[in-house]
Amino acid sequence: MTELLQWARHHWHRLMNGRTQHEDERPYSYSSLLVCGGKSSPTPKPAGKHRVVIPHLPCFKDEYERFSGTYMNNRIRTTKYTLLNFVPRNLFEQFHRAANLYFLFLVVLNWVPLVEAFQKEITMLPLVVVLTIIAIKDGLEDYRKYKIDKQINNLITKVYSRKERKYTDCCWKNVTVGDFIRLSCNEIIPADMVLLFSTDPDGICHIETSGLDGESNLKQRQVVRGYAEQDSEVDPEKFSSRIECESPNNDLSRFRGFLEHSNKERVGLSKENLLLRGCTIRNTEAVVGIVVYAGHETKAMLNNSGPRYKRSKLERRANTDVLWCVLLLVVMCLTGALGHGVWLSRYENMLFFNIPEPDGRVVSPVLTGFYVFWTMIILLQVLIPISLYVSIEIVKLGQIYFIQSDIDFYNEKIDSTIQCRALNITEDLGQIQYLFSDKTGTLTENKMVFRRCSVAGFDYCHEENAKRLESYQEAGFEEDECADTLSGSISNMAKPRAQGCRTVPRGPLGSKPSTQLSGSATALGSGEGSGEVPHSRQAAFSSPIETDVVPDTRLLDKFRQITPQLFTPLDGTTQSPPLEILYILDFFIALAICNTVVVSAPNQPRQKIGLSSLTGMPIKSLEEIKNIFQKLSVRRSSSPSLAGGKDPTSGTPSAFVSRISFFNRTKLSPPMEDESSRMGESSQASNSSCCTETEARNSAAGSAEALAGPPPSASNLCYEAESPDEAALVYAARAYRCTLQSRTPEQVMVDFAALGSLTFQLLHILPFDSVRKRMSVVVRHPLSKEVVVYTKGADSVIMELLSVAAPDGTNLEKQQMIIREKTQSHLDEYARRGLRTLCIAKKVMSDPEYTEWLRDHFLAETSIDNREELLVESAMRLETKLTLLGATGIEDRLQEGVPETIEALHKAGIKIWMLTGDKQETAVNIAYACKLLEPDDKLFILNTQSKGACEMLMSAILKELQKRTQASPEPASLGKDSRHLPDPQCSGRAGLVITGKTLEFALQESVQRQFLELTSRCQAVVCCRATPLQKSEVVKLVRNHLHVMTLAIGDGANDVSMIQVADIGVGVSGQEGMQAVMASDFAISQFRHLSKLLLVHGHWCYTRLSNMILYFFYKNVAYVNLLFWYQFFCGFSGTSMTDYWVLIFFNLLFTSVPPIIYGVLEKDVSAETLLQLPELYQSGQRSEAYVPLTFWITLLDAFYQSLVCFFVPYFAYLGSDIDIFTFGNPLNTSALFIILLHLVIESKSLTWIHMLVMVGSILSYFFFALAFGALCVTCNPPSNPYWIMQKHMLDPVFYLVCVLTTCIALLPRFLYRVLQGSVFPSPILRAKYFDRLAPEERAEALKKWAGTAKTNQVASKYATPPAAESERPAPGPSAALAMKPATACAIEPENFPTCETVLDLGYSEPGASKMIEPSAC
């Protein structure tokens, strides 16, 4: 009763505030145990009014009761139905379908005596059967959800009891907002709660968010500021604060609010203080928090939008044809009504035909015709296939079962197979015309391998590392790796793994040192965790090929010069180290600390390093700033709140640090004299010396590697990175003995070779975002005690933020300009080699500068509204006038089978677009490597800085393409669909590359038409520097304006919007979590699986379902027409020559199963042939199996067969004295054989299952007819079917009539199929013939097919040489380096004779259209 009152009060409050259900409520459904199947909505819900959270304690009793009415409890219910409302609600939902409403109307109509055609019960039978089947399916699905909900709601957690004044076991469903909850390691968080206590000495809690986004990497959450410094656990009885935060919303990346103490002091709250429902506690012994959102108001539940529903193209086509059938039904009924009226008019004076009413009144023929119209509607209702929709659902379930059972989709490395998350669009897989693909993690492995770097203008090739990668056999290492990720199953919840829990001594509960707390792990069935070896889980991005980096010998020699003696000479004089050495020092420090990597040391507890005070530091102003904002109690945090200032003190980890004086200078001394000469020789130093010097040092490579290897303790460290790029850079720094040792909210410790352990005071983390495209860390340097900003990001962004040197600048500024130019050339070469590039920079701030920035940054942090925008602006103010340190080149290798897959999809007529955020050179070379672009493609590059230039350039390219198209003969086979499915070889392939800035112009409404016309003439399009929003806009533009079937595939959160916009979204379960998978319709583990999914299963599903739908229309029209032809001989009175039970069961039972089996098992061509001949896929793109012409031909064939089926028995029994049902029996029997054998003729593959079902259908018909004729003596007086079938089975004429009727009816279709297969076979039939050949003959036939196709393509290509070729000079040879697939680790230069058009538009704009420079090595 209390819950009912709370519910009523809550909804009344919402009603009075003017909130509708659409704004605040949504249907939810669990697709797994812990909302693993939930997916983020495209846009966050508006926060609305703030929420006040009052602790559930006696001292707040009155205030809590006032606010608790608007809180939801933690009970979840994802089911639609209850025992009471199942029947009415399910019926209500089912009658939303127009077909069900139509048949309900017929049932009601049949109850009207004047138009009654059947017995009332008989008319209800089809509808009742269909509704019952769907209701059973819905009920079973809902019952499964109910069982999962029950198990989740009854999980146990520790909740503070007001009565017992201690933590007691409590079910999840009884948790309420304001409760204090204590959780132990490996427990799942039951509700969204603010973190108030952690046993970690730094107030950190590690969580695993795989239950939300699929990422197994550990994330850090922090205790609210003011509670982290406490020595004991927070006591709920002494808690006197209240929380005000935003209302429940579905934005996982944001949480705004503050905690207000009793003295009115406020502490800001962000997402770093929030533990989300469904996450798992890791590497932390115990935590305590207060619940702010519960149940359906948690962010996890608000993001769970349930399974996706899309309507397939084929289903829309079938709905249109159903309307045609309705129109046909109306015409037939009008014909019957008109005929009956005319017939009565002719016999108006014959009372035998025109019986008056009981009162003697004679009904006029017009009114009688009106009544007959509705009678005919009831009689011919079978023309509308009520069982079609149920059959389609069953067939799609069968198709999905076979797709998921395909062993070729299984990935043994990650133990996963394909997931079909959308159940109703399988046939769309066979009609794809445009494919939009992400690059990183989709086409590539997303295993980032550190390959090259440039420091201070010198390029280091890391040839030793490249050679090691060539011979690396990762498979041997992966055999010993065991995947250990959180599963959403009940069994895994019942037996949680003790991952990463440190062994700690038992002690009193109140003590702060890591003490094992008795949380709810025991409630979940875990009696383990305290004595096991911690960190048994495999961290992401930590495969040996990613972690093992061999240092470059030249860089290693320079790295060895970084010694304490270099900075503190023995004679005591102060001398500046070489500028290059300083750059190398800062470069590797930036690699190690400019990230958000979580460090775990499994065998030893992490210890917080004490910070000793510094003397002589100008910190007065910083202390004043701190005192000013002390009242606001602004929390210290990392991303995304861009943490506030820390205590300006730092440790001195080694004795020599205090003696270093050169760091305290505001300006560095000029570099050594020989530095400029070395700079001038950077060409040889960065290129040729990379190879010559490496070869000279090959003998010492082994010793160098051993010397530079990570220290013994570093091998035990576990790095939990949020992206593979971060992990690759940290592992590269570790290879040079610059090892990231630990990270806390206040400090980062790095073990730097000979300098020892350096502890950087971490002042701020400015996280990466799509606006800035970079991240920064602000630290206090332990050597110089200065505030230093280390930044890494995209080269296009970092280069614009560098300090600009004046012409008369200092020597240092000139050197920086030289470094910038050399680094840019190295970046271009890295991109040409297909490497991912990042720039590393730094900035040294004086204390007054930092103080001024900190003041503005604090104001941004304390803002409630527009906090994120203000923080981004604050970060951008800091990241200016940077000093370039160097750049990195990281290899992301192609997945296995990607080039072959793209080549097959191209042959299948699918246009492929690659949408990536990488720079142009990297994207182009990856496109060549994966065969998206061919060496002889005509390549056009759109890179403009204005809208006008973009339009002019596109016009010029279009003219060029039109010339080539006009000069080349167009194959006659394309016809109308040439715009959508162009022959790639008809005039030579063309490729288009467009950058993000130009894409912004192209997506504007005035340019869209021109852009689409250009892209439709290109076989491949590469969009580089594209944002996630631009990706989705491109897909939406192509889908809506070209009216083509689109497929989008990606693996990361930045691909979600693109995946959701496309007709079919495919997620790749890679290393970037499961956001793309959760938002997708189908999920695969590797890109190469796409070829079989589309070319085989897509083709099969489309062909099967198309033919099955056509067959349903055929059999219904053919059988209903028998009743219609009979009306011409019974005065259009609506009489049936068949018993009503036979009439109903004929479509509902006797002929319903064979087409379902056909739709699930039919294979027109084998999988091997479909993969070897991708061109066969184009039949689905053109919808050849189901076009309007095919539909009308099917109906005409049905009319012909019905005529034969009616009139052959009619003339056979003409002049006899048989009764009406005796005449109808051979009609039904002949119709059954005709309809079933028609399906046999249409089937391309007959199995024993097909034959079993056929025989079963025939036997069931005869069994029913015999039993019904023997038992039903007075079923339908005055006539009855008594003993009719028994008599006919003893009559030879009956068999003769049935055989003759069947042969005459099926002869035209049979002859057509024979002629089609022999005289004018389609490509599908030719391919079907190959399946019957012996293996040797089949291979020869396929080779001949491919040779003939290639000859035709070459002939059409060179029949008329393009006039444009002679009008312009031949372009110079451009080189593009191909990246090898995963089976080959090395990247070698290959010169492709890329034929690219350079257009002279009469204006000069940088980058408007340029050639790809040859890559130098």
581 φ, ψ to 5°? -65, -40
Can you say whether residue 1385 is alpha, beta or left, with left for phi > 0 and alpha for psi between -120 and 50 degrees? alpha
Interior/surface letters 1180-1202, b for 16+ CB within 10 angstroms, e for the rest: bbbbbbbeeeebeebbebbebbb
Of 238, 1052, 1198, 458, whose CA–CA distance to 723 is shortest? 1052
What is the SS3 assignment for 999-1055? Answer: HHHHCCHHHHHHHHHHHHCCCEEEEECCCHHHHHHHHHHHHHHHCCCEEEEECCHHH
- Separation of first and last alpha carbons in the chain: 78
Q: Are 399 and 1013 in contact (CB under 8 A)?
A: no
The pair of structure tokens assigned to 1150 is 């006797």
The CA angle 578-463-700, to the nearest 5 degrees, is 75
Query: Other CB atoms closer than 10 Å to residue 1220's CB: what's the count?
Result: 14
Of 726, 885, 898, 891, whose CA–CA distance to 798 is shortest? 885
1066 φ, ψ to 5°? -120, 125
| Neighbouring residues of 865: CB distance < 8 A, sequence distance ≥ 6 | none
Q: Is 852 exposed, middle or buried (0-12, 13-18, 19+ CB in 10 A)?
A: middle
Q: Is 812 exposed, middle or buried (0-12, 13-18, 19+ CB in 10 A)?
A: middle
CA dist., res. 1100 & res. 12, Å (int): 53
Torsion sign over Cα 1137, 1138, 1139, 1144: negative
Estimate to the nearest angstrom the gap between the alpha carbon of 794 and the chain centroid: 25
Share of the chain residues as helix, strand and coil, in percent rounded to the nearest 5: 45, 15, 40
The pair of structure tokens assigned to 778 is 């602000």
Q: Are 558 and 736 in contact (CB under 8 A)?
A: no
CA dist., res. 210 & res. 488, Å (int): 9
The DSSP element (H or E) to which 267 belongs, if any, is strand 266-269
The CA angle 311-316-317, to the nearest 5 degrees, is 145
Counts of helices then strands in the chain (DSSP H, E): 50, 34
CA dist., res. 279 & res. 303, Å (int): 14
DSSP 8-state code for residue 227: T
779 φ, ψ to 5°? -130, 160
Residue 995, helix vs strand vs coil: strand
The DSSP element (H or E) to which 138 belongs, if any, is helix 120-153
**What torsion, rounded to 10 degrees, do the Cα atoms 405, 406, 407, 411 define?**
-90
CA dist., res. 728 & res. 548, Å (int): 10
Estimate to the nearest angstrom the gap between the alpha carbon of 555 and the chain centroid: 41
CA dist., res. 1263 & res. 91, Å (int): 34
* Residues labelled catalytic: 438
| Neighbouring residues of 856: CB distance < 8 A, sequence distance ≥ 6 | 874, 877
Please identify which residue in the block is written with the tokens 């005509």: 938
Query: Other CB atoms closer than 10 Å to residue 1129's CB: what's the count?
Result: 12
CA dist., res. 1390 & res. 1387, Å (int): 9
The pair of structure tokens assigned to 218 is 């550990």
